[in-house]
């Protein structure tokens, strides 16, 4: 029991150290680190790529399997959100429209 707790403490401290070092790596130096222009351009797309990597599987998969029916509340909500975004270009409205379509279908109809 004590060994199990010791392992958890060591793992937690190790993960904390790794997190601090990797997050603070760019702040250690007093001068700005040179970065190639191609890398600077590529890093502009990193948040979009990360968000897509999280959201796309959630939209089209359930428990590791692709959805097998069109009676899934996520699909109409996605369509409504995409249409709203391309007409109004508002992030908050996009989220609201998606949830307004999703919730009644998922909770009300059980999709």
Note the pTM of the prediction, 2 decimals.
0.59
Contacts of 102 (CB under 8 A, 6+ apart): 73, 74, 76, 77
pLDDT in tens, 9-59: 999 999 999 999 888 877 777 777 788 999 999 888 988 898 889 888 988
pLDDT band at 1 (very low <50, low <70, confident <90, very high): low
Taking residue 55's Cβ as centre, other Cβ atoms within 10 Å add up to 11
Distance between CA atoms of residues 51 and 82, nearest Å: 15
Question: Can you give the pLDDT at residue 10?
Answer: 94
DSSP class of residue 29 equals S
Any idea how long the chain is?
111
Distance between CA atoms of residues 86 and 89, nearest Å: 6
Cα–Cα nearest to 105, from 84, 78, 65, 87:
78
Mean pLDDT of the chain: 89
Distance between CA atoms of residues 69 and 84, nearest Å: 24
């Amino acid at each position: 029991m004590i060994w199990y707790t010791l392992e958890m403490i060591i793992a937690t401290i190790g993960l904390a150290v790794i997190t601090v070092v990797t997050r603070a790596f760019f702040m250690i130096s007093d001068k700005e680190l040179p970065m190639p222009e191609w890398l600077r351009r590529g890093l502009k797309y990193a948040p979009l790529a990360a968000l897509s990597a999280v959201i796309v599987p959630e939209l089209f998969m359930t428990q590791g399997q692709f959805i097998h029916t069109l009676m899934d509340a996520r699909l109409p909500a996605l369509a409504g959100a995409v249409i709203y975004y391309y007409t109004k270009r508002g992030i908050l409205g996009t989220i609201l429209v998606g949830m307004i379509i999703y919730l009644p279908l998922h909770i009300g109809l059980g999709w």
